[in-house]
Amino acid sequence: MSDEPIDPGRVLKTVVDSFWSAADLPFKLVSVGLITVYRYTFSAFVGRSCRHLPTCSEFTSGAIWKFGFWPGGWMGAARLWRCRPGGTHGYDPVPDILPTAARWYMPWTYGRWR
């Protein structure tokens, strides 16, 4: 047996993180499923005309899988906003980490809008 005391804060954080990971999974599956249906149906009729690489749908599904439904969805919304006339173009991958200023109660802080 270890002589280290158990840190209740760390245990609580682990339990809460595990809960939210499990609660987020159905939202991830449904949203990525809808994006996949879009990519193989409607997108095929419109044509491939995305200004970014990866495409906006690939970016959004990757962000949702990596960061969860809420932050990934807002990152995808910001990416769609940038994919307009006068917006950005070029290589724009999903970031490796969430922005430091991102908070769940300020969802617009997850994405890069310009």
For the chain, the domains span: 8-109
Taking only the tens place, the pLDDT of each residue in 22-56 is 888 999 999 999 999 998 888 878 777 778 888 88
Euclidean distance between CA atoms 107 and 110, whole angstroms: 6
pTM above 0.75, yes or no: yes
- CB distance 71 to 98 below 8 Å: yes
